[in-house]
Amino acid sequence: MTITIEDNVDSSESVVDLQNDEDFVTIPDTTMVSDKCSWQDSSTDIPHNSRINMNDFPPLTETFDTSKVPWWTSKRFSLAVLCFFGFLIGEASKSNLSIAIVSMVRSIPKDLQLTNDHHNKQNSTSNITIVIPEADLTDTLFKGGEFDWSKELQGLILGSFFWGYLILQVTAGWMSERFGPKRVIAVGMFTTSAATLLSATTARWSPYLFMGIRIIIGLGQCVLHPCIQSLWMKWSPPKERSSLAGLSLAGGPIGAAVMFPIGGFLCEYGFDGGWPSVFYVIGGVCFLWTVVWCLQGYDCPSQHPSISPIERNYIEDSLGFSRGQELKVKIRINPTPWRSIVSSKPVWAIIVCHFCINYGNYMIGTQLPTYMKEVLKFDIQTNGLYSMLPFLCLWFMMMISGIITDRLIIKDILSLRYTRKMMTSLGTVVPGLFLIGTSYMSQEQQLPAVVMLTIGVGFCGCQISGYYMNTADIAPAFAGILIGISNTIATVPGIIAPFVVGVMTPSGSELEWQRSLYLAGGIYFIAAVVFIIFSDVDIQPWGLVSQEKGLKTLVCFINKIEILVSVCVVFLAIEHHRPIW
């Protein structure tokens, strides 16, 4: 390893260029004293591919009494709760259309071609022609629907959110690193709020203008996952990461669960015709959350004005920072290793798994109320209540699976490798089996169908502790960028799934829905096979390099040799122009 000092810097700062082509970073016997800090330490070898979970090298947190940092009063827990409600509102902004469209659209579109003043329905078995006046047909079948959108157009509108969600996924990861996750999330959620408030008006003007608004909502929401992933890389001790991230992400299914019954109630009793109130209420709540986020969200513990020193030291030490005085160090860091990322088999295992999983997830999220209406024949309020149950179970499983995953790893019951693969398998194979089982249910088996959907969707909660957290395993320095890439590609099923279902279920028959559910179940199985065979948990050789070109200022806390494992950089407190050894 070579360390060089760059000229023309302020005397209070040191610019260090680190180069290492070996398998180990070697720290020689060192004694240094400066006006900033001092230390004395012996030679140490740190493997490049050491685990971030600190099992191989005990962190400084071993000296802390963690009982002094109870999670229920901690700032990291408060942040997780705030993120939970952010995901809840974000998911509600996405899924509100899934329940609202049941009331927005007429049961039988006009393109089924009613003729003159009568609608003729031919009974194919008895040759009896039933004549129904068009006015009576409209009063019964068309009641409550303002729009006569076809099934294909409905699929395009439901999928339009994901066009916007697709666009900025990778860029969101970069923006999070460049401007900080707090600012990026605030802008995204404000955009979501404004567009949601305009939804009802634009829907009445034009379905295509409404699609444009849904695209803008997707743009606002696409920053959440990459930014929250980057946020927890700075806020969560490694052994708590699954639990904290799981709590944050659990807001998503709760948002859908809350949205369906509330949306059903608003569609029936809300103002301005019912369904428009769904968008006004969610848009207003989203704006209020954005204000709270601007006041209470922080990019890292060192920025939080009221965090206790004990908790701050606990978090920073567990991530590889050591306590001591502040010292600004500028380091030269390498650009993002795009070639290595693109050619990485574990990365593609995550992407393909994510893609396949999202087909089933997005199909369920956008089409569940429609399925319950067309196959199980629920009215709008009952539809909303029963559509809630699978997502409540999903939230519960997300919370439980995160805790179980952490326990399995901490207690050495299972290795990280087997734990990730087991959780991904539970989150794909079980939902696939239950979706296929549900496909055989009809109106006469309403309760068994709801139970099977609830269990199947619930096990999707294991996915977060599986493939999703795997990005931090293989490349901790690029977790935000990797999840951005993965989310970008895995958003495509959000566009495809609603349209495919619309094409496959033109009349909403049980047989048509059976084929759709079979397809989703089979794609879940593909996700499991790919992840089991090709995934990895070892840090990749390129995964410990920081991600911006040029100089970057970091604030370090040093009273001894400090090893920042997450970017594999050794910080040394040095005097300007003084030899290191």
Q: Is residue 57 part of a domain?
A: yes
Q: Average per-residue pLDDT in the chain?
A: 72
User: What is the domain count for the chain?
Assistant: 1
The pLDDT of 223-240, averaged and rounded, is 79
Q: Is residue 384 part of a domain?
A: no
465-519: pLDDT as tens digits: 888 888 888 887 777 678 778 878 888 898 888 888 888 888 878 888 999 999 9
Residue 74 has pLDDT above 50, yes or no: yes
CA–CA distance, 96 with 114 (Å, rounded to integer) = 31
Long-range contacts of 71-79 (CB under 8 A, 24+ apart): 71/240, 74/311, 75/301, 75/304, 75/306, 75/307, 75/308, 75/311, 76/235, 76/236, 76/240, 76/244, 76/301, 76/311, 76/315, 77/244, 78/296, 79/231, 79/235, 79/297, 79/298
Domain that holds residue 323: 2-64+306-334+549-571
Q: Is residue 135 part of a domain?
A: no
Check residue 69 and give its pLDDT: 62
The pLDDT of 164-180, averaged and rounded, is 77
Q: Is residue 186 part of a domain?
A: no
Tell me if 56 sits within 8 A of 44, measured CB to CB: no
310-323: pLDDT as tens digits: 777 777 777 765 33
Check residue 287 and give its pLDDT: 94
Residue 331 has pLDDT above 80, yes or no: no
141-151: pLDDT as tens digits: 444 577 888 88
Tell me if 82 sits within 8 A of 292, measured CB to CB: yes
Higher pLDDT residue, 569 or 520?
520
Report the range of poorest mean pLDDT among 96-100, 172-176, 349-353, 526-530: 172-176
Q: Is residue 215 part of a domain?
A: no
Tell me if 271 sits within 8 A of 396, measured CB to CB: no
Q: Is residue 35 part of a domain?
A: yes
Check residue 565 and give its pLDDT: 31
Please tell me the pTM assigned to this model.
0.65
Higher pLDDT residue, 541 or 47?
541
For the ranges 1-5, 18-22, 89-93, 118-122, the one whose mean pLDDT is highest: 89-93
Q: Is residue 21 part of a domain?
A: yes
Measured on CA atoms in the order 547, 463, 400, 81, is the torsion positive or negative?
positive
Q: Is residue 327 part of a domain?
A: yes
**Distance, first Cα to last Cα, the chain:** 12
SS (H, E, C) 423-438: HHHHCCHHHHHHHHHH
Higher pLDDT residue, 243 or 133?
243
Check residue 66 and give its pLDDT: 53
